[in-house]
Structure 1
Amino acid sequence: MTLIIHSAQKVDADGQVDDFWFASEAGIITATGTGTGWRTNVTDSNASADNTADTSDTDTTVIDAHGGWLAPGFIDLHVHGGGGHAFENGTDEILAALGTHRSHGTTRSLISLVSNPVDDLVHNLGVIADLTASDPLVLGSHLEGPFLSIGKKGAHDPDALIEPAPAIVERLIDASRGTLRQITIAPELPNALEAIEVLVEAGVVVAVGHTEADADLTRRAFTGGARLVTHVFNAMNGIHHRAPGPVIASFEDERVTLELVLDGHHVHPDVAKLVFEQAPGRVALITDAMAAAGASDGHYLIGSLDVDVVDGVARLVDGGSIAGSTLTLDHALRLAVEIGIAPSIAVAALTSTPARVLGLGHRFGTLTVGHAADAVILDHGWNVRSVFADGRAIAGAAA
């Protein structure tokens, strides 16, 4: 199948280009340019220059972006659910939740699991491994726990938190069948620094998070191979003038990427701007979304914990801690632009930066030849008009 999108304002990590077009074959971008050069890629006389072709009669689809923004498909490193569905509840629930996020521009996702008993995690890692094999838009799994600090547990069940014993680490790696892409770990736990090295050797991206570690211990984790910080500022010590903590350690290490939940609640907008300023090119906007993303306020579960969502803010019933978000990545993009982040930098934080974290920068993240034909068309207010993955339209995209 051929997909052509033209007359767009392209924006990605490489910058902005007016009157941009790309053509793709079999889900891969094969040509790009500006102006009317896209017409040379239309080989089917039934394909309209201004409308989607009738795909029952032709393999060519031509989309006129009408001057709207054209960005690469968004990549979410950290998401737990959406549309009223949680990822721990099986394949159908996972797919339903992903459908919500895909309609808002997220074309590739990790499947994040909260802390649960090891047997449950092993089962769910197997489910995600099967789904990764069948759905190319699923990039694998992210374990946010169970190797977290009780003192910084956030919305994790304290009864499920354990130390990273070598046998358990190996069991989780084996259960994922090569699809465990990311894990959050508190480096102060016994065996944690050794576990980080084992996980990195297995090809897992290790994130420091839900931790009471100071700056020095965080640096040791980075030396051991950790390359990510889970939702920076949240569930960790902040910046103190005599105790800089993990945030300063991550700012100073150019190998490290910082996850940021930009929803107006997790991190103040002024602090979010500081993160972009102090870690240029190293911010990955994430949703950390739970089941209520794209759904109504009400009562939900995160793992086994009760959560109330009021005015779009999710909090534990017991204690009131923020319990994930109700964010979608298009909303994060709008907020980033509103607080003064340049569009190309904001889009990079949704696309090329998370792709690079996963070692997939050669396949995703920019609208360049050789990359997947994952694309999002947005209006001038940064609202999603249509979404494409592997050169095909995603049904139900927000209009």
Structure 2
Amino acid sequence: MGIQKILNANAQYGVPVKIFTNDIDQESIEQLKKMAQLQFVHSHIAVMPDVHVGKGATVGSVIPTKHAIIPAAVGVDIGCGMNAIRLNLKASQLPDNLAPLRYAIERKVPVGFELHKQIKAKASSVIPLEKRLQPIIKKHPGLVRMLRKFDATWQKQLGTLGGGNHFIELCLDENQDVWIMLHSGSRGLGNVIGTYFIELAKKEAQHRFGHVPDKDLSYFAEGSNSFDDYVEAVEWAQEYAFENRREMMRLILEAIRPLLPPFQMTKEAINCHHNYVSREHHFGEDLLITRKGAIRAGRDELGIIPGSMGARSYIVKGKANPESFCSCSHGAGRKMSRSKAKLLFSQDDLIHQTQGIECRKDSGVIDEIPSAYKDIDQVMANQSDLVEILHTLKQILCIKG
């Protein structure tokens, strides 16, 4: 399927909004209309099939801008994304009881608000990040005051999962090959950078491009000091998120090796962002592309689209669809808020919906119950024009923050 719904430009809002699904709520539509009013948005806004309302900008939106950037559209989980590798192991080589594997990973990789007691990341990861960070905090010392034990915290959080919808999974594909897949971002310092610059944009309230329909859509204009500083900081956070996932994967492999037959990683390894901004060329223009809950799906580019903790996930190859700005969905997408999920579902519901999966089944993760998410198979059907499915994964072990 291709574009299924278009919000056409009119007197109230500027560019069209092209939506790759019919499954979209009115609140998201109203939010997208506000985004489309921004005069620096180029061509149109593309909306992925996992669309749902977000803070400031709609989750599942791809926003092309020229000469301006919106910090709230990138969000506070800067560089959040996925990492997956395939092992040369088959399902038959796994132990019948997966609980020891889960406990071994949980001992190696802190989850939620936890961090390593000591710096676990390699110096080759930490030193370049530290060198790039110094000029950022020199210009914006307020960042340091927003994170407790600043230097120790960001360094000790390298190789940690975080909370919410972040996860680590052991999966099997259609050939019964074993995969490790994880979802995480830039942790505490990424959140601080996002929060700091979102508030700075609101405070500066630049009006070079006219009226802003929502204060959460406050922007920095290219050529301003704040624009350059934000781009520098957001690129740092994106690199940190990438290194965080890579370090976490290293620790996971260390944790499971003693419990499994000898194995190697295959060449099929993917590490991709889905909350980020990048400079790209589309429709004859050099643009800033903000993907808020979307991944890049350029020609033959590999990506990961996870379902919920009880549904399938997909390894995909991009089709470089120009109308989506070479993008696709970043997952199934929530169909209800966390608070609503906690009201509607019980621990018994969670146990039933995660049957056969080694995972937490306590009340602390009810907000991540599969029924709180859209049907991933329908989401995939809606984006057949955007990606080709290479592998279908089903999790057998899941660790949630």
**TMscore range, shorter length:** under 0.3
| Bigger proportion of residues as helix | 2
Higher-RCO chain (CA-CA 8 Å, sequence separation at least 6): 2
